[in-house]
Structure 1
Amino acid sequence: MNGGAVSSMPDGLLDTGAWFRVEEAGSASGVRRAAERLAITLAMPEKRRADLSIMVAEAAGNLVKHAEQGVMLVRAVRNDDVAGVEIIAVDSGPGMADVARAAWDGHSTAGTLGIGLGAILRQATWSDLYSVPGKGTVLAAQVWPATAPAPARTSGLIRPLAGESVSGDAYAVRGPDERRQMLMVDGLGHGPLAAAAAQVALRTFGATPQGGPAALVEALHRALGHTRGAAVAVAEIDEAAEVVRYAGLGNISGAILGGDNGRRGLVSLPGIAGHQRRQIRQYEYPFPAGSVLLLHSDGVVERWRAEDYPGLLTRSPQVIAATVLRDAGTRRDDAGVLVVKS
């Protein structure tokens, strides 16, 4: 995961932010400064900026002192016309068997986020934490100007190929929770041309009038004709009917996790949006309460199994996405994960 300036998607789309490898004190300071700059850009009150600075410094310091392969994401989060700052700290250390005990002030467990965890959770407006012994820890924490909005039910993460500053993977979400529509896109290849194709897909998704997933994929196919092309998938959650409607073209993978079936794969048809396609088809799948929808690019391998992570599907979509990206994301390609909870 690479460092870089904090960036954001167009208005109405989710912010991707910037990743930082946190392995030494200097990199920890860089993360704190990036978070502070973002908070100033978002016009966050001075008191909340101070809380954010403490939280980021503690989280980054813990990664430097006690974690393995520690990385942090800094990005904006939005709810209507209010914006906050989110950090996601990820490590592949020994993990914690007792997260609640690790949150006590003064408690220390080598290789974990234990030291200072209490301070981090106090400064955060909202937080979530998941840890598995032998696999590592994921912490998501947000600071908002005032009271935190209701926890997000949809979130995702994007990581560019090592050495690249931009990613050809992207995602977007639109509509109310009870009728959300999600786009996952993987621009062909990587680098600036792949990122350009992804941005065309995002703009098209945001501007196309309401329609079902198949109609949206058809619109994306037409719009991407002047780019190198992309794999795309659109899902629509209908909470009243407890179903997911889905259409995909290319190598975006989708699965419904949880419930009686454990894992159910979604069908994407072969092709490249913008260049090659068969007739686009829309499929419908049961999506009962308590289910989790997972979409990801081919930068995430299929070997990941939810049953190896007890309790993970009850955590926030940010933490689920970060755990999948850490353990199933490849370093040889852009990687993107989008998680939706019913």
Structure 2
Amino acid sequence: MHPVLATVLQRLGLGLLTLFFVSIIIFSAISFLPGDFGEQVLGQTALPETVEAFRRELGLDQPAWKRYLQWIGGVMQGDFGTSFSGRSSSGVDASRSVVELIGPRLWNTLFLAGVTAIVAVPLSLFLGITAALKRNSLYDRSVNAVTLTTISFPEFFLAYLLIVFLAGVFPTLANVTPEMELGERLSKVALPALTMTLVIIAHMMRMTRAAIINLLASPYIEMAQLKGASKTTVILKHALPNAWAPIATVIAFNLAYLVVGVVVVEVVFVYPGIGQLMVDSVSARDIPVAQACALIFAATYILLNLLADIIGIVTNPRLLHPR
């Protein structure tokens, strides 16, 4: 078997194993949350017998290991269960499936992350490459200072600053709906996307700059310069292809953050994404929805990191051309 294929399969196996252990942690952590859904619906004055009967109806009276096996078995079949929301003490069950609740919210989060990535990734690569070309210049120092300043602010503080200064230009509430046209939707997500862009751009820009500068000291780069190659040719043709591994890793980390770390931004701008849904489900002790949101976040993070590993592997000349 080719070394690249063997290494990729090994990474995929480790990713699945990691996701399995993460699912156990998610289930355990949410099970240990204080409070009880039955008591929250029925009220603190409800009789213990009534609460126990309600818990039995929801399946919360079963042992933890049995509930976990039922949950993970359903997840492997694409069934995340049924939301607790909509259930009442009167026996009325107006609950919806978790997939039905998460589907539109996940699409909204992916749309926001996609818009941010389209802006942030090319901009950070451009700033990183140009800063490396003009190392220690005023431009390099200015770019580093601005990006480090933006990353130093917490997301919610940066979001509020943008609301204060750009409230008259862009909507401050990102309350998108499925019926919206693309232009109106882009206008609504402008401030959340700008907030996340300012937060993640420093990581990607500085990693790109560091990777390029490190390669510029290599002997083959010096040889290309001695042959008369221009700086642009040296960077784009010789340095950048060999710098993809670290750059892809930091881009994958930040793309994972765009999906996983949007909770604060979605809450500030009241954006109907999966992060806002997770906060609401934890507050309401809606266990199936909270577990599904956490598992989606974990799977996204693991998948994007696996993708970064695979890109680093397939761009490694030692693996592509083994002796």
TM range (shorter): under 0.3
TM-score, length-scaled by structure 2: 0.26
Structure number, greater radius of gyration: 2
Q: Which has the higher contact order (CA 8 A, sep 6+)?
A: 2
Which one has the bigger helix percentage? 2
Which one has the bigger strand percentage? 1
